[in-house]
């Protein structure tokens, strides 16, 4: 694995990259990219993985902030320019949570840049019955913890222990990065919170195979949004990961990697895998 920074629109954009094979780009949740994670390592056995820090995310060493950006579509435009600057060709694009929203927006604007679209617990659509968990009503650590169905999975990544997230010995660096990430999220996705009414009708023009992956215990984005994505995209199917929360990439990395590497996303419908968290 190595860290690479590429300048796009005057902004340095950082990625963690490793592996070999066709290019796969993965976009992170609103709480950012914790680094080179097990899901990246598992995917790197099959792809050249580019784990990109979205513009304005990753702290002082991450991607630089576009002060003009006010919507996830602005970030999608920058990701599109980054893909062209890297000359990666059509890529497999994986978007997790908020990153899934950015990926979906990019797919509506520049589908020619994508070989496949994979949305994992993606935000971006307004639920009709439930609601998207509002991170601005809780502490940083409480929000990130809500993305996991199993506390031990959260602890394994963020080195916490104890019963109260607010009293955990979280490192200052992590808290600062989470704070900067939330500030960027506020700029682009606060109002309306985590959805775009224009996105759903535009998804009908996405002419690349799509795969939608959801944890069956997702407490952040209701699973009805998964079905809405499948219904709106012309060529999409759903995989549900049992015993897993919102952050499928972090809580069940091997399961997600297996779905991505084995899936062809060529037919509509709904499927459910077995095996749970890994």
This prediction's pTM: 0.92
Quickly tell me which residue has 């513009």 as its tokens: 55
Q: Is the pLDDT assigned to residue 274 strictly greater than 90?
A: no
4-25 residue pLDDT tens: 999 999 999 999 999 999 999 9
Q: Is the pLDDT assigned to residue 278 strictly greater than 60?
A: no
Position 72 scores a pLDDT of: 98
* DSSP reduced 3-state for 109: helix
Phi and psi at residue 256, in whole multiples of 5°? -65, -45
Position 164 scores a pLDDT of: 54
Residue percentage of the chain with pLDDT more than 70:
90
pLDDT band per the 50, 70, 90 thresholds, residue 267: very low
Position 263 scores a pLDDT of: 62
In 3D, which of 216, 87, 208 has the Cα closest to residue 149? 216
29-79 residue pLDDT tens: 999 999 999 999 999 999 999 999 999 999 999 999 999 999 999 999 999
DSSP assignment of 32-64: B--SS-HHHHHHTTTSEEEEEPPTT-SGGGSPP
What is the average per-residue pLDDT within 94-122?
98
SS (H, E, C) 146-200: HCCCCHHHHHHHHCCCCCCHHHCCCCHHHHHHHHHHHHHHHHHHCCCCCECCCHH
């Amino acid at each position: 694995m190595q860290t690479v920074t590429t300048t796009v629109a005057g902004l340095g954009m950082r990625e963690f990259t490793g592996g070999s094979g066709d290019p796969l780009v993965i976009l992170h949740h609103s709480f950012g990219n914790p680094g080179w994670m097990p899901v990246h390592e598992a995917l790197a056995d099959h792809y050249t993985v580019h784990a990109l820090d979205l513009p304005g995310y990753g702290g002082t060493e991450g991607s630089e902030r576009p002060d003009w950006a006010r919507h996830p579509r602005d970030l999608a435009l920058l990701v599109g320019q980054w893909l062209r600057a890297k000359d990666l060709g059509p890529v497999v694009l994986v978007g997790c949570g908020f990153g899934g929203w950015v990926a979906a927006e990019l797919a509506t604007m520049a589908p020619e840049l994508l070989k496949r679209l994979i949305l994992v617990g993606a935000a971006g659509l307004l639920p009709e019955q439930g609601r998207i968990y509002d991170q601005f009503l809780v502490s940083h650590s409480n929000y990130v913890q809500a993305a996991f169905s199993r506390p031990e999975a959260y602890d394994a990544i963020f080195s916490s222990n104890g019963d109260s997230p607010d009293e955990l010995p979280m490192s200052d660096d992590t808290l600062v990065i989470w704070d900067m990430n939330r500030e960027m999220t506020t700029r682009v996705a606060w109002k309306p919170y985590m959805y775009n009414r224009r996105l759903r009708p535009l998804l009908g023009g996405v002419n690349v195979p799509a795969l939608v992956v959801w944890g069956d215990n997702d407490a952040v984005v209701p699973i009805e949004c998964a079905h809405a994505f499948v219904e709106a995209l012309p060529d999409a199917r759903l995989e549900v990961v049992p015993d897993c929360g919102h952050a499928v990439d972090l809580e069940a990395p091997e399961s997600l990697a297996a779905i991505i590497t084995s899936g062809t996303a060529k037919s509509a419908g709904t499927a459910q895998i077995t095996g749970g968290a890994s």
